[in-house]
Amino acid sequence: MTLNDTPPASVAARTLSVRPLREGDSAEELTALLHRAYRPQVEMGLRPLAGRQTVEVTRERAASGECFVATLRDALGATDALVGTILFQEIETARFPPFFLRQGVTHFSLFAVDPDHQGRGVGLALLGAVETRARALGANELACSMAEPDTALMAFYLKRGFRFVEHWQWPYTNYRSAILSKGLG
């Protein structure tokens, strides 16, 4: 997984936008994106829900919070390609980590960038959108849950000001998660 911050000219020349998921957006396309983005964790032997969820689960999860997508307008300006997603304030049926329940703490999940577009600023734009939304709600912390064994992803978050808070075990994964948070001060 490439996790640098500099968009290459080919992407920079195209228009990246982050917007709320729309009713007409394809849940099938979103699910395929999640499966591609989480494939490295699956290949590590991990079982992240986003890497194996059905289209129906994608629909349900996206509707349970504020889902944002990143799109790139093609060179002709005719169509937008889905290249990333992030879900803000997902409502889970599973019990939440204690940190997520603290006053002033918001969280995100379903954070994914198409592997062909990783390292090009898409993830940073998605994180920026949820940070902006969290601040608008008066939050002072933005948290997430991540697969602890994915050391490259951990490095990505730590580089961006997140810190380890606690461990957590979701009932639908086969690994221990690390709960990370970033102050929004």
> How many distinct structural domains can be found in the chain?
1
For residue 3, being part of any structural domain is answered with no
In a domain, 1, yes or no: no
Integer Cα distance of 136 and 122 in angstroms = 21
How high is the pLDDT of residue 8? 43
Task: Examine residue 83 and state whether it is found in any structural domain, yes or no.
Answer: yes
Domain assignment of residue 4, yes or no = no
**179: CB partners within 8 A, 6+ apart:** 97, 99, 100, 143, 144, 145, 164, 165, 166, 167, 168
Span 13-24, pLDDT tens digits: 468 999 999 999
Q: Would the pLDDT of 157 be above 70?
A: yes
What is the domain extent for residue 151?
A: 9-183
What's the confidence (pLDDT) of residue 93? 86
Whether residue 2 lies inside any domain: the answer is no
Separation of alpha carbons 120 and 132, rounded Å: 20
- 66-112, pLDDT tens digit by residue? 999 999 987 776 668 999 999 999 998 889 999 999 999 999 999 99
Better-scored residue on pLDDT, 8 or 162: 162
pLDDT tens-place string over residues 105-152: 999 999 999 999 999 999 999 999 999 999 999 999 999 999 999 999
**Residue 103 maps to a domain:** yes
What's the pLDDT score for residue 78?
64
**Dist CA 12 CA 119 (whole Å):** 12
Residues in the chain: 185
| Residue 92 maps to a domain | yes
Q: What is the CATH number of the domain that holds 136?
A: 3.40.630.30
Q: Which residues of 82-117 are buried (b: 16+ CB within 10 A; e: fewer)?
A: bbbbbbbbbebeeeebebbeeeebbbbbbbbbbeeb
Sheet arrangement for strand 66-73: 16-20, 66-73, 80-88, 105-113, 141-147, 177-183, 163-168
pLDDT of residue 20: 97
